Amino acid sequence: MRILGLEQFPEEHREEYPGGSVRQLGAASGSRKLYAAIDTLAPGAQGSKFHAHTAQEEFFLVLKGEGTLRTRDGERRVKAGDFFAKPCGVENAHCFVNTGTGPMEILDVGTVETGDVCIYPDEDAYYLRDQGLVFRGRDRVRGWTSEPEGDE
């Protein structure tokens, strides 16, 4: 068992993207069947594109700040202390936007599932995670990323 501290987080398990970062807690500590991360969003930043998983279930806890959670049912304000579970399925598509004035931190915990497909309804895109392939409808897509405004 490996015990780590956030104050000395291993850089190889930290990802930066425009407007935010992700600290991969589960990967850093050796987890194989559980995904755990802390997503940090700057004011105005979006954490991911609007997406759903076919097999992965997730749990979110807003640790710091406030923002907007977009779902298929609309937008809801979320703030530090709010938490919810997101079962798999396209009906549970989601994304976060930091609409506050300071950083927003979200604990994201989920199952690691073989064969999980990420569905991006706004783009009709399908990310076959295990294979590293992305399709839009029936066409294979090249130069696409899951980060907001990250496409070539």
Along the 152 residues of the chain, how does pLDDT read in single tens digits? 888 888 888 889 999 999 999 999 999 999 999 999 999 999 999 999 999 999 999 999 999 999 999 999 999 999 999 999 999 999 999 999 999 999 999 999 999 999 999 999 999 999 998 999 998 886 766 777 888 876 55
Residue 46 belongs to a domain = yes
Quote the pLDDT of residue 35: 94
φ/ψ (deg, to 5) at 27: -65, -40
CATH number at residue 50: 2.60.120.10
How many domains are there within the chain?
1
Quote the pLDDT of residue 152: 56
Residue 109 belongs to a domain = yes
Report pTM: 0.85
Give the structural domain span for 22. Answer: 9-116
Residue 125 belongs to a domain = no
